[in-house]
Amino acid sequence: MRALIAVLPGDGVGPEVTAQAVRVLRELGERRGHEFRFREGLIGGVAIDQQGDPLPAETRALVSEADAVLLGAVGGPRWSDPSALVRPEQGLLALRGLLGVFANLRPVHVHPALAESAPLKTELLANVDILFVRELTGGLYFGAKTHERDSAGRSVSASDLCVYTALEVERVVRVAATIARGRRRHVLSVDKSNVLATSRLWREVTSRVMRDEFPDVTLEHALVDSFAMQLLQAPARYDVVVTENLFGDILTDEAAVLAGSIGVLPSASIGEQPLTGHRRGLYEPIHGSAPDISGRGIANPAGTILSAALLLRHSFGLEHEAAAIECAVSDAISAGWRTADCVAAGAASCSTAQFGDAVLARITET
Ligand code: IPM
Ligand code: MN
């Protein structure tokens, strides 16, 4: 197959980790006879520096033409002055909105060899296989914002509006339940319906969609505070977890503790399945720009390489190729390749590029 992949490296470690994922995609494309073309675009802080806009028109045009988008990370201390009007993160939110990718899939598996680097008891981590489905284009992230200052420029009040429509809840719940059918047929919906009106709507709509359209999938509800605790106490209990934008952001960073490092977790953001052609998607690791280690060649590229696997699976339907990447990453970890975020204290670690080499070597073997 032929496809154009937009690559948006972004800030911090973004360029370092996307470079490794592109190497892997190129190699796999060549081996399996796919013509993948790659074109880079600016997003985030680098785009503000070069064009004054975190999502410049050229990048918008590129992603609209592309069949899929691979992204590194955005943000960093250089652009985090609280009074700044233009911020790197706005570029990412605008991109998610532009692509209409309302469902953010964040799978959490625990590689047995990494369970030791997790701070939790190893026996708790056996059989953990959770798929978070985070609503990505609604809620607090996208509601109207205000920030009032007095004449001296001091903050007086601020607000973020949280709105969800039934339609926004229905479509993300359908994605979650459809995927659950191919797994253990269990969906947990997380909300804060004892306090929030949007959560009461979320719970009502989720219950209706599941009852009417997915009677073969069991549904459970949990309050976000209680689930945040349960997730660390009995993580193997969960299958598919669907939740709103902000809760999903927070809970998936928490879930990264189960995997041993946030550096290994990928994500896929998808929209509606079109009747023909490729499903639009945005693929990015769940970690951020990690300014503390950027430019040193030591970031973990696994989350981005695994995001490339999700790209092949969800946008191009290339299941064998996606699985080949996942096996190669898993085998590289089993063989002892570890970037600094995953090593035991005092043990030797490899560089970003060496981890990429180790994955490539294993893809060559398949
Ligand atoms: C994520 C990130 C983003 C988010 C930021 C960078 C806007 O934390 O993808 O989890 O909050 O969605
Ligand atoms: Mn986040």
Q: Crossing angle of helices 352-365/319-334, nearest 10°? A: 120
Structure token pair of residue 86: 């233009």
For residue 233, the one-letter residue type is Q
Cα 2 to averaged position of ligand 2 atoms, centre (Å): 32
Could you report the per-residue pLDDT of 108-130, keeping only the tens digit for each?
999 999 998 888 999 999 999 99
> Domains in the chain and their CATH numbers?
1-106+273-366 (3.40.718.10), 119-259 (3.40.718.10)
Q: What is the distance in angstroms between the CA of the first residue and the CA of the last residue of the chain? A: 19
Give the pLDDT mean for 71-90.
95
Rounded to an integer, what distance in angstroms lies between the CA atom of residue 71 and that of residue 22?
11
Active-site positions read: 141, 192, 225, 249, 253
CA angle 315, 100, 26 (to 5 degrees): 30
Give the pLDDT mean for 189-215.
98
Could you report the per-residue pLDDT of 28-54, keeping only the tens digit for each?
999 999 999 999 999 999 999 999 999
Q: Which residues line ligand 1 (CB under 6 A)?
A: 74-75, 89, 92, 249, 286, 288
CB 326 within 8 A of CB 309: yes
For residue 9, how many other CB atoms are within 10 A of its CB?
A: 25
The percent helix, strand, coil of the chain (3-state, each to 5) is: 45, 20, 35
**Per-residue confidence at 365, pLDDT binned at 50, 70, 90?**
low
Q: Whose CA is nearest to atom 4 of ligand 1?
A: 249
Cα 212 to averaged position of ligand 1 atoms, centre (Å): 33
Most ligand 1 atoms within 8 A of CB, residue of 17, 43, 92 to mutate:
92
Rg from Cα positions in the chain: 20
How much is the pTM?
0.97
Q: What percent of the chain has pLDDT over 70?
A: 99
Ligand 1 atom at minimal distance to the Cα of residue 284? 9
Most ligand 1 atoms within 8 A of CB, residue of 249, 250, 283, 289 to mutate:
249
Rounded to an integer, what distance in angstroms lies between the CA atom of residue 24 and that of residue 311?
12
Query: For all residues of the chain together, what is the average pLDDT?
Result: 96
Cα 211 to averaged position of ligand 1 atoms, centre (Å): 32
Ligand 1 atom at minimal distance to the Cα of residue 92? 7
Give the pLDDT mean for 209-228.
98
